[in-house]
Amino acid sequence: MRTYYVYIMANKRNGTIYTGVKNNLVRRVYEHKHKLTPGFTSRYGLNRLVYFEETNDMRVGIAREKQIKGWLRRKKAGLIESINPEWKDLSEGWYE
């Protein structure tokens, strides 16, 4: 069974944020951090993983991503702060 991750990247505390869904979180965060894929995250320097959750169902992951993207920033910040109140990079140390 595959695992899918709904995740949020940020560039600094209370800065710009991006929500995505992927099946390989470690690889995708690496791509964001090293600007390997052109687009929103590389343009705005979103290089900190501040939130993620897991699901075993791709459809559930996509629905959750869309749900979060539809929220106001204040609600997204509340979600992040529910598990990561200091907006630390949750991927720190992954690539050492």
Query: Which domains are present in the chain?
Result: 4-83 (3.40.1440.10)
pLDDT at 13: 58
pLDDT, one tens digit for every residue, the chain (96 residues): 899 999 999 997 567 999 999 999 999 999 999 999 899 988 888 999 999 999 999 999 999 999 999 999 999 999 999 999 999 999 999 988
User: Which amino acid, one-letter code, is at 34?
Assistant: H
- The pLDDT of residue 1 is 84
Looking up tokens 């699901």, which residue turns up?
55
- Three-class SS state of 16: coil
93 backbone φψ class: left, alpha, beta (φ>0; ψ -120 to 50): left
